[in-house]
Chain A
Amino acid sequence: MLTIDNLHVSIEGKAILNGINLNVRAGEVHAIMGPNGSGKSTLSAAIAGNESYDVVKGDILFKGENIIELAPEERAHKGIFLSFQYPIEIPGITVTNFIKTSINSNLKARGESDMPANKMLKKIREKAALLEIDSKFLSRSLNEGFSGGEKKRNEIFQMAMLEPSLSILDETDSGLDIDALKIVANGVNKLKNKSNAIIVITHYQRLLDYIIPDYVHVLHEGKIVKSGGKELAHELEEKGYDWIK
């Protein structure tokens, strides 16, 4: 589904990623771990198409197509979803209006007509229930005044609504207490199936107790320095990142 080939990315001339290679197939869960500043968030931003990051070299192939030149919205239309580490607060747009606009923009881009209002409402209710989101929450301004846990649940709620092929969960566990973590992980697990894939980006092994990865990759100074199965995460938890440096 996703093939990253020798990816070099820099921000304002400063090299952050120095040759990433990664291959994610449908049905797989990959965890990308690494210390602060290793380039984890840069990798997620580069896949999602954030224009503040310059791809200096290398390719990102999604479903066989090179997406390097595509705008963020075009990548979303193809089925890439990024759960933000820091979801943006946007006063004046309700969660419901935001998700409606998002869904219909994606449908429009695929040449389909808007989702009928009743179908939309039913889906919103169903997915909100999955993430244990109160209906009052849906009429609030997007992320404004949300707690850390509410913001992350709202991200996974959007993932549930959009049903992407590839989801990148950027530090979804940060700012979550154990109950919220369980709700979020449970939601993600229910959305997982044979035809989609998930990349979990995390500093800690904690989340990986709930979302079990098929592969674990360790990022250090902009390179994947070690790959392995889920047991690698436990090893890192015990020994710390100094061990792989």
Chain B
Amino acid sequence: MQLTEKLISSFLAFELDIDIHSDIHNIRTNAIKKFEELGFPNKKLENWKYTSLNRIIKEDYTVFSKKKNVIDFKKVKDYFIDNIETHKLIFVDGFFDPFLSQTSHDGLDICIMSAALSKPKYAKIIEKYFNKSANLEDSLTCLNTAFSKEGAYVHIPKNTVLEKPIEIIHFATGNEAALMLQPRNLVVVEQGAEVEIIESHQSLTVNPIFTNSVTEIFAEKNANIDYYKIQNDVVTSSLVDNTYISQKRNSDVKVHTFSFGGKLTRNNLNFFQKDSSINSTMNGVTIIDYDQLVDHHTLVHHANPNCESHQDYKGIYSGKSTGVFNGKIIVDKIAQKTNAFQQNNNILLDNKSTINSKPQLEIFADDVKCSHGCTIGQLDQDALFYLRARGIPKKEAKALLTYAFANNVLESVKIPELKIRVKNIIAKKLGVSLGFDL
């Protein structure tokens, strides 16, 4: 059976398991209808021109993992950030793992969607925010909404500055021959509150894993959010990450995406500026090899005056890997004094590696500063010789230049322990031990 049909028929079984008399159920039902109408995206769509899901959706995925699996912390401890206290929301094969997690209800809520979607105490927040910024016309988002049941739920009340970052990890054990996961996350950061979140998806198996994730983030007035996505999964795992960020006045949201792994990784990162004086930042470093594909589709909708957006994406491609960067910026007529910057720099290390880079600017206001730039090149041979002439071996010299290239984006990581983690991943990826500081 085709995955599309399988998903649609699975929805009936899914309904048996949940409360069908809730408002959420109507949202889910509408969503599955929309997915049924649209199906999986294909290359005929402008937004999917360079990325085909065909090789991913041909697998016979189990849509719901049948049983909860327990994993031993010792086996997965390397996937947690070292030497740092964090709130933890850990999921295994789509189920919440209470043993590995550290939730909190201490004046805030760092817990799970299944509780938020079903318990009356969360009803107000859910009603106000759930599925309110997600794109109702996007088939994969609709698919996730239809099956939305589990994921991270974060609610940070007014003026609360969270001391510890929140670590969200989705593990897949390989208990099924092939598994599809659809985590649904909601992050609401109230007025003046601050939070740092680190999210990763980690397969512990060579069995195919396909994750279709949706995260809605709401930053109220003066809220501050740093969201780190560490995409360093095994090459049999694929991820479509749909993230929707809705911002209010004076809020500052930064999303840092580090894409090093996976078979296919597609990031749909959408920012909606709902008021004036908003800052939105998107940083990305992509380092991939073999036949890996990483696709960044960003959208910033400047709908109000005096707002800024900054995008800085760096990519380093080896082997037959492919990168896509599509950065769309919409500036409404009312959004005067907008500052929108976009930069995408790429290095192709092999003649079989590819990058498709496309800025897409739709500007309807006349008093704005918008810039975009794109470079595609190779490692500078003169720079390489310079380093080698100082006694730095070729491999290390290449690694050092790669670091240097990505450095300004790496510098934006505010959590030192996370910076070390990212540095170590890069060093491992480049096959060197690096004796210098980041």
Contact of A225 with B by CB under 8 A: no
Contact of A188 with B by CB under 8 A: no
* Chain A residues within an 8 Å CB radius of B390: 76, 98, 102, 105, 158, 162
| Contact with B393, one of A75, A105, A114 (Cβ below 8 angstroms) | A105
Complex Cα gap A104–B393 (Å)? 11
Contact of B374 with A by CB under 8 A: no
| Contact call B392/A73, Cβ cutoff below 8 A | yes
* Chain A residues within an 8 Å CB radius of B403: 92-93
Contact of B407 with A by CB under 8 A: yes
A-B contacts counted at CB < 8 A amount to: 84
Q: What is the number of residues of chain B that contact chain A, defined by CB distance less than 8 Å? A: 27
| Contact call B389/A92, Cβ cutoff below 8 A | no
| Contact with A100, one of B404, B405, B436 (Cβ below 8 angstroms) | B436
Question: How does the 8 Å CB contact mask read for A215-231 relative to B, with 1 for contact and 0 for none?
Answer: 00000000000000000
| Contact with A87, one of B386, B388, B392, B394 (Cβ below 8 angstroms) | B386
- Chain B CB count within 10 A is highest, among A48, A73, A98, A109, for A73
| Contact call B435/A100, Cβ cutoff below 8 A | yes
Contact of B350 with A by CB under 8 A: no
Question: How does the 8 Å CB contact mask read for A95-106 relative to B, with 1 for contact and 0 for none?
Answer: 001101110111
Which of B301-309, B361-369, B377-385 lies at the interface with chain A?
Answer: B377-385
* Chain B residues within an 8 Å CB radius of A102: 387, 390-392
- Chain A CB count within 10 A is highest, among B390, B400, B404, for B390
A13-55 interface with B by 8 A CB criterion = 48-52
Give the size category of A's interface with B: 20 to 34
Nearest-CB residue, chain A, relative to B409:
A92
Shortest Cβ distance from A101 into chain B, in angstroms?
Answer: 5
Complex Cα gap A211–B405 (Å)? 38
Shortest Cβ distance from A104 into chain B, in angstroms?
Answer: 5
Complex Cα gap A51–B385 (Å)? 8
Complex Cα gap A244–B63 (Å)? 85
| Contact call B385/A76, Cβ cutoff below 8 A | no
| Contact call B386/A105, Cβ cutoff below 8 A | no
Contact of A8 with B by CB under 8 A: no
Complex Cα gap A49–B435 (Å)? 24
| Contact call A50/B396, Cβ cutoff below 8 A | no
B interface residue numbers (CB < 8 A to A): 380-383, 385-394, 396-397, 400-401, 403-408, 435-437
| Interface pairs A-B: 4 shortest CB-CB | A92-B404, A92-B407, A76-B391, A72-B388
